[in-house]
Amino acid sequence: MIDTFEVGTFKGVQQIHHYIFQDVFDCARKIRTVNLSKGNFRFAPVGFLESNLEVIEKMPGSDFDSIIEKYVEMNVAHPFREGNGRIQ
């Protein structure tokens, strides 16, 4: 099953999130619908989340630096209500 995940895509991130958390969270794989923050840091606002994910999806991931940029942007997006850090 894991070998069918779409590596480097948001769909792949959703697949991983669902695989790990399907028995833990009702919201596994679902894009969050509330704004989130941790300490003084606010993650991407819900109103911009889908468009941010589309931009991240189009980012190249062909070398180390571009993979790191994509990773950082996905962390800022924080697309799920729970489990974002644990799937990275």
CATH of the domain at 29: 1.10.3290.10
φ, ψ (nearest 5 deg) of residue 38: -135, 115
Q: Which domain holds residue 9?
A: 2-80
Task: Give domain status of residue 86, yes or no.
Answer: no
Task: Take residue 43 and report the two structure tokens written for it.
Answer: 């993650």
Task: Give domain status of residue 49, yes or no.
Answer: yes
This prediction's pTM? 0.86
Task: Give domain status of residue 42, yes or no.
Answer: yes
Q: What mean pLDDT value characterizes the chain? A: 93
Give the whole-angstrom CA distance, residue 50 versus residue 53: 5
pLDDT at residue 56 is higher than 90: yes
| Domains of the chain: total | 1
For residues 13-29, average pLDDT: 93
Task: Give domain status of residue 18, yes or no.
Answer: yes
Task: Give domain status of residue 88, yes or no.
Answer: no
